[in-house]
């Protein structure tokens, strides 16, 4: 890409007498796209300068500013250049500028141990990314969305991080990252690691439900996570007076039984000390804390926002509190730097910015044809112990599978509502807490979104979470956390997110609209999730093991009606790869009847009563759906009927039909048929529910009609 920005560079040869050393080695030009922070330090008066020390050591104020000031300048100059690149059309999306927030971001991240402590940064934490592992070059690449960006162009601007380095990449949905930090910190501690969490949120973000959920979980689980609130007085254009009604956001700590503190966020040293103090306190007594940093925003919310809603007077006041000039002054006063020393430092920073921009602009755009498009990680599952039992109910199959998983995987844990002593709402977890203890069979607070975030964070530090939703219906509480965050995790970060989700689902139990749904249609709309829907004890056992040992977020739908009503043998050979396949329940040549969950049993009954030869298939893997076995059956029978328990537009029946018609419509001798409930909420009264619900009789009527017509 040609760039008139290149022209600046030629004039900017590094000063021979620069006091500011930036590591340069390798590559043709001698420039390499990685900044070595251990040598990024000021060497005024040829004094040795300590490298950054991390918690539990503390920097002196003088040593702190020697590192903090260059970082703050680097962050600001880089962002100014990004803004310029945005205005020139090189950067797409937008740029949310952190100018004014550098005191908070540098202060809060300096004590952390990169790669060890669990962190989620926000859209105004540019300097913290630099301090915790990103290089200026990488950040520019990320904003340009080019082939070398940390997300390879799969995500833009602030949605980056380093999942493997425990700097979790944020999603746009504010608040959602907090519970991941809680889960990651808690899980790493369970593994015996001495870690802390830093979960950053803005004043606006504190109004989200997830802020409460994450704080509450952290407090109950005693996870040492510092919830750092960057209070810059505005959320986009909304002032704090319209955002909350307490005096200080740190006052909210009382409600969680934890401590809270407010500091001047424009004072980097004050923030640094407050974070170190909080880590000391969390070390002595593992529990979360709130640190509110009163910060400011010297630009609008993002590149397009002129911030006309901020009064001139307030802006002037803010400019007087700009953290950069104050940090600069500290270099003079505390560190004894002369003006030329500081100017040399600033020029060296400017040069680093230039180099990064110029090098990043040379990088190719992502190439769609060779891009890694997969939304699924594909690490092969291990071979597991074979298991057989002559007869078990579906609910017992769940219990047996969970017992196997917990017994063979010390890093696995089960989390959900009432799964401990009570043994879960449908008793499928009975006895597990007695065998594995409350640290591995965990009764969680009632908060499905926070629970999913907690599990996602835990999955990133080497543990293997299993989440039970009490009813599948309550999984809708976690749509963005599960669908948008967990589902896209591998695509965005390249790191696996192995989590098993269990969803007791389905109707027929007179439970009405909020306790009877399946939601396979909803969850299949999110790329990156897998869905298994077993119908027999054998399938149930296999689905739970396959879902657990898979390296992606997997949902297993467990039909509640089948838990204790249906039984059968389990004979599992131990090869998990063979599990991911369509199940044939009856063999036939006149009609292919595809069914899911409890409808499989209704379909089998209907097939048994029918005089013609019906082939009943359960796709078992609902997402990603492989239509080929269904197509092969249709090639034989020439007819396709799909039966689903939910309303016609809510399930996957239409998807099955569409795939068969699109790929092999010529094999059909008549139009395919969908047997489904009407598109109404599942009604409560038994007469109304059974009127809506498909059953063997309705299926049989449909089959006879279909076969009679052809
Ligand atoms: C859940 C959610 N709703 C709306 C938005 C759109 N949005 C992006 S940033 C923002 C303001 C955030 O304000 P604050 O939390 O105070 O952080 P700041 O931008 O001030 O640093 C809004 C409303 C979002 N990202 N997430
Ligand atoms: Mg704000």
CA of 234 to the centre of ligand 2 (A): 4
Do 69 and 184 belong together in one domain?
yes
In the structure, what pLDDT confidence band is assigned to residue 67 with cuts at 50, 70 and 90? confident
The residue whose CA is least distant from atom 21 of ligand 1 is 202
Average pLDDT over residues 518-545: 98
Q: Phi and psi (nearest 5°) for 165? A: -95, 15
Catalytic residue among 359, 448, 615, 689: 448
Identify the CATH number of the domain in which residue 597 sits.
3.40.50.920
In a domain, residue 368? The reply is no
Q: Half-sphere exposure (CA, 13 Å, Cβ side) for 635?
A: 8
Last residue of a domain, which of 579, 610, 641? 579
pLDDT at 348: 85
* pLDDT higher than 80, residue 69: yes
Do 70 and 147 belong together in one domain?
yes
Question: What helix, strand, coil percent values describe the chain, rounded to 5?
Answer: 40, 15, 40
In the structure, what pLDDT confidence band is assigned to residue 435 with cuts at 50, 70 and 90? very high
pLDDT at 30: 40
pLDDT at 51: 64
**Distance between CA atoms of 476 and 503, rounded to whole angstroms?**
11
Q: Is the CB of 329 under 6 A from ligand 1?
A: no
Identify the CATH number of the domain in which residue 572 sits.
3.40.50.970
In a domain, residue 379? The reply is no
pLDDT at 710: 59
Q: Is the CB of 485 under 6 A from ligand 1?
A: no
Give the residue from 25, 70, 77 showing the smallest Cα distance to 44: 70
Tokens of 616: 């009943």
**Distance between CA atoms of 519 and 516, rounded to whole angstroms?**
10
Give the residue from 137, 573, 675 showing the smallest Cα distance to 356: 137
Do 121 and 264 belong together in one domain?
yes
Last residue of a domain, which of 564, 579, 594? 579
Do 521 and 621 belong together in one domain?
no
Atom of ligand 1 nearest to the CA of 208: 1
Q: Is the CB of 210 under 6 A from ligand 1?
A: no
Q: Is the CB of 230 under 6 A from ligand 1?
A: yes
Mean pLDDT of the residues in the chain = 92
Angle between helices 178-190 and 448-459 (to 10 degrees): 50
**Distance between CA atoms of 384 and 386, rounded to whole angstroms?**
6
Cis before 99 (ω within 30): no
User: Quick check: is 611 catalytic?
Assistant: no
In a domain, residue 1? The reply is no
In a domain, residue 378? The reply is no
In a domain, residue 372? The reply is no
In a domain, residue 367? The reply is no
Do 99 and 17 belong together in one domain?
yes
Atom of ligand 1 nearest to the CA of 297: 20
Pocket test for ligand 1, best of 98, 205, 309 (most atoms within 8 A of CB): 205
In a domain, residue 705? The reply is yes
457-489 tens-digit pLDDT: 999 999 999 999 999 999 999 999 999 999 999
CA dihedral 595, 599, 600, 606 (to 10 degrees): -100
Identify the three-state secondary structure at position 482: helix
* Greatest pairwise CA separation for the chain in angstroms: 97
Count of domains observed in the chain: 3
Do 28 and 72 belong together in one domain?
yes
Do 427 and 515 belong together in one domain?
yes
Last residue of a domain, which of 522, 547, 579? 579
Q: Is the CB of 292 under 6 A from ligand 1?
A: no
Do 514 and 490 belong together in one domain?
yes
User: Quick check: is 160 catalytic?
Assistant: no
pLDDT at 341: 85
* pLDDT higher than 90, residue 36: no
Do 574 and 589 belong together in one domain?
no
Burial (CB < 10 A; 0-12, 13-18, 19+), residue 675, is buried
Do 209 and 283 belong together in one domain?
yes
Do 667 and 530 belong together in one domain?
no
Catalytic residue among 123, 152, 301, 515: 515
Average pLDDT over residues 532-545: 98
In a domain, residue 150? The reply is yes
The percent of residues above 70 in pLDDT, for the chain, comes to 93
Q: Is the CB of 173 under 6 A from ligand 1?
A: yes
Identify the three-state secondary structure at position 374: coil
* pLDDT higher than 80, residue 543: yes
Enclosing domain of residue 24: 6-362
Q: Within the chain, how many helices (H) and strands (E) appear?
A: 23, 22
* pLDDT higher than 50, residue 368: yes
What is the DSSP code (8-state) at residue 268? H
Q: Which residue has the tokens 């760039």?
A: 3
Do 426 and 324 belong together in one domain?
no
């Amino acid at each position: 890409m040609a760039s008139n920005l290149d022209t600046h560079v030629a004039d900017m040869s590094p000063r021979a007498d620069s006091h500011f050393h930036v590591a340069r080695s390798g590559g043709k030009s001698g420039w390499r796209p990685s900044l070595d922070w251990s040598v990024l330090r000021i060497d005024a008066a040829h004094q040795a300068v300590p490298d950054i020390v991390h918690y539990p050591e503390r920097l002196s104020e003088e040593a702190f500013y020697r590192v903090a000031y260059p970082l703050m300048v680097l962050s600001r100059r880089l962002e100014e250049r990004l803004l310029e690149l945005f205005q020139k059309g090189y950067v797409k999306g937008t740029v949310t500028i952190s100018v004014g927030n550098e005191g908070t971001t540098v202060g809060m991240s300096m004590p952390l141990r990169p790669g060890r402590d669990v962190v989620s940064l926000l859209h105004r934490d540019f300097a913290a990314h630099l301090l915790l592992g990103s290089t200026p070059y990488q950040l520019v690449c990320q904003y340009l969305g080019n082939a070398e960006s940390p997300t390879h162009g799969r995500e833009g601007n602030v949605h980056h991080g380093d999942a493997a380095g425990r700097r979790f990449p944020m999603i746009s949905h504010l608040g959602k990252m907090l519970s991941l930090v809680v889960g990651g910190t808690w899980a790493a501690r369970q593994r015996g690691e001495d870690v802390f969490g830093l979960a950053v949120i803005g004043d606006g973000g504190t109004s989200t439900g997830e802020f409460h959920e994450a704080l509450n979980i952290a407090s109950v689980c005693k996870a040492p996570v510092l919830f750092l609130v960057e209070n810059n007085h505005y959320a986009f254009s909304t002032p704090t007076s319209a955002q909350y009604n307490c005096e200080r956001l740190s006052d909210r700590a009382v409600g969680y039984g934890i401590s809270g503190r407010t500091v001047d966020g424009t004072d980097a040293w004050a923030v640094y000390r407050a974070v170190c103090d909080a880590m000391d306190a969390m070390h002595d007594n593992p529990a979360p804390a709130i640190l509110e940093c009163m910060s400011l925003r010297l630009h609008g919310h993002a590149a397009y926002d002129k911030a006309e809603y901020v009064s001139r007077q307030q802006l002037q006041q803010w400019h007087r509190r700009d953290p950069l000039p104050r940090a600069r002054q500290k270099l003079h006063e505390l560190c004894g730097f002369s003006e030329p020393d500081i100017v040399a430092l600033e020029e060296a920073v400017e040069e680093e910015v230039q180099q990064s921009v110029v090098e990043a602009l040379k990088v190719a755009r992502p190439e769609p044809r060779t891009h890694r498009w997969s939304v699924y990680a594909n690490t092969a599952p291990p071979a597991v112990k074979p298991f057989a039992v002559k007869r078990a109910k579906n609910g017992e199959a769940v219990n047996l599978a969970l017992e196997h998983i917990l017994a063979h995987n010390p890093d696995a844990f089960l989390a959900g509502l009432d799964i401990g002593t009570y043994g879960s709402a449908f008793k499928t977890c009975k006895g597990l807490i007695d065998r594995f203890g409350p640290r591995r069979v965990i009764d969680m607070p009632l908060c499905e979104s926070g629970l999913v975030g907690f599990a996602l964070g835990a999955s990133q530090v080497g543990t293997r979470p299993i989440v039970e939703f009490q009813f599948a219906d309550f999984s809708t509480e976690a749509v963005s956390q599960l669908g948008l965050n967990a589902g896209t995790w591998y695509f965005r970060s390249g790191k696996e997110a192995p989590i098993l989700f269990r969803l007791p689902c389905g109707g027929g139990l007179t439970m009405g609209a909020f306790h009877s749904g399946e939601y396979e249609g909803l969850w299949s709309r999110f790329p990156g999730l897998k869905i298994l829907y077993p119908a027999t004890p054998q399938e149930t056992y296999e689905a739970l093991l396959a879902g657990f040992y898979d390296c992606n977020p997997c949902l297993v739908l467990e039909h509640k009606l089948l838990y204790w009503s249906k039984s059968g043998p389990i004979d599992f050979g131990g090869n998990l790869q063979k599990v991911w396949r369509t199940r044939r329940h009856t063999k036939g040549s006149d009609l292919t009847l595809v069914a899911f969950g409890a409808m499989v049993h209704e379909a089998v009954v209907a097939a048994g009563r029918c005089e013609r030869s019906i082939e009943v298939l359960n796709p078992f893997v609902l997402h990603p759906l492989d239509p080929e076995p269904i197509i092969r059956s249709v090639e034989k029978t020439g007819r396709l009927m799909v039966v689903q328990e939910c309303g016609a537009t809510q399930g996957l029946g239409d998807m099955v039909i569409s795939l068969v018609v699109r790929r092999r419509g010529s094999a059909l001798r008549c139009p395919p048929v969908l047997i489904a409930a009407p598109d109404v909420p599942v009604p409560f009264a038994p007469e109304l529910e059974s009127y809506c619900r498909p059953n063997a009789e309705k299926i049989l009527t449909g089959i006879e009609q279909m076969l009679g017509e052809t």
